[in-house]
Amino acid sequence: MVQRLSALVLLVPLLFLLSCGSTELPLTYNSIRGSGNLITVLVEDLDLFHSVTLKTTGDVMLVFDTEPAVAVSVDHNLQRFITTEVVNDVLMIGLKTPKEVKVSGMKLTVWVTMPVLQQLTLDVDGIGSFQTDSSLFQVPEVDLVLAGVGNMELDLEVSQRLSSTLTGVGNLVLTGSARRHDLTHEATGGVHAFEFETDSCTIISNSVGDIEVDVREYLNATISNIGSIYYHGFPAIEVVDTGLGELIDDN
């Protein structure tokens, strides 16, 4: 009789859970909020790198100098979760927490000093940004990839080719110059490059945001969405427009 009562006591809660449509217990999360007390740590023993990828919420400040260096400023109670590692010559900046831990309110800034720049990738789970400080990056070629949510504000002197690919949400703001700019814009947001002089520019625009460029010799534009392209300069023009956006002379 005692055994039957014990079985009944165990069975009643189980039937209740099944009747509610739940067959497993929910995962309990431990939420850790940034303290607001920022500390700055110099990252040591990193391999050399020529590119940077941001994978977490935060801001990356780029500094052009001959001696590479990485410094991380973040809430003191979240510092242990920040990862900086070099993989295939790319500095990867991310956040690694246990499965049951959720981070909120983090204030992360990473200063990256580098003499060579080949690629910047913003692929953020959250909101991030890349910015150059007052120093001008002088490079032969560079690739920009905005695949997450955030902005890039860059001052670049590109002697050959700049390639920009935007598929996320955010803005690209450029100053400086390049001999050639290849731009693919499939993002929500704008490209602001009236202060970025190019000899030639090829644009594929399938975006809802507008594009502003300064082109001197040759402009090739393909428009297939509602975003328009505004240009400064007097280049030779080839345009294919199947969208609602327009190619607009803004001189």
Interval 169-178: pLDDT, tens: 999 999 999 9
Q: Which of 173, 120, 111 has its CA nearest to residue 148? A: 120
In 119-234, which residue ranges form alpha helices assigned H by DSSP?
A: none
pLDDT above 90 covers a percentage of the chain that reads 75
In the chain, which residue ranges form alpha helices assigned H by DSSP?
A: 2-19
Question: Dihedral of CA 109/110/111/114: which sign?
Answer: negative
| Reported confidence tier of residue 10, pLDDT bands at 50, 70, 90 | very low
Which residues make Cβ contacts (< 8 Å) with residue 250, sequence separation at least 6?
Answer: 212, 230, 231, 232
Q: What is the mean pLDDT of residues 203-228?
A: 95
CA dist list (Å): 243 to 18, 184, 208, 229, 246: 53, 15, 10, 12, 8
Quote the pTM value. 0.85
Beta bridge partners of 149: 169
Q: Please report the pLDDT score of residue 1 as a whole number.
A: 43
pLDDT digits (tens, 9 = 90+) for 57-93: 999 999 999 899 999 999 999 999 999 999 999 999 9
Q: Please report the pLDDT score of residue 39 as a whole number.
A: 96
Question: What is the number of H-type helices and E-type strands within the chain?
Answer: 1, 17
Report the amino acid identity of residue 26: P
φ, ψ for residue 15, nearest 5 deg: -60, -35
Q: Specify the range with the lowest mean pLDDT, choosing from 18-22, 26-30, 204-208.
A: 18-22
CA dist list (Å): 63 to 71, 86, 89: 11, 18, 18
Mean pLDDT of the chain: 88
Beta bridge partners of 82: 95
| Fold (topology level) of 26-128 | Pectate Lyase C-like (2.160.20)
Q: Fold identical between 26-128 and 136-251?
A: yes
pLDDT digits (tens, 9 = 90+) for 104-153: 889 999 999 999 999 999 998 789 999 998 777 889 999 999 998 999 99
Helix (H, G, I), strand (E, B) or coil at 58: strand
Q: Please report the pLDDT score of residue 9 as a whole number.
A: 39
pLDDT above 70 covers a percentage of the chain that reads 88
Pairwise CA distance, residues 225 & 247, whole Å: 12
Length of the chain: 251
Q: Which of 107, 119, 153 has its CA nearest to residue 134? A: 153
Cβ pair 206, 188 in contact under 8 A? no
Question: Dihedral of CA 216/178/61/96: which sign?
Answer: positive
Considering only the C-alpha atoms of the chain, give the largest distance between any 2 of them, rounded to a whole number of Å.
96
Would you say residue 187 has pLDDT above 90? no
Q: Please report the pLDDT score of residue 13 as a whole number.
A: 47
CATH class of 136-251: mainly beta
| Reported confidence tier of residue 11, pLDDT bands at 50, 70, 90 | very low
| Reported confidence tier of residue 243, pLDDT bands at 50, 70, 90 | confident
Ordered by start, the domain boundaries in the chain are 26-128, 136-251
Q: Please report the pLDDT score of residue 28 as a whole number.
A: 55
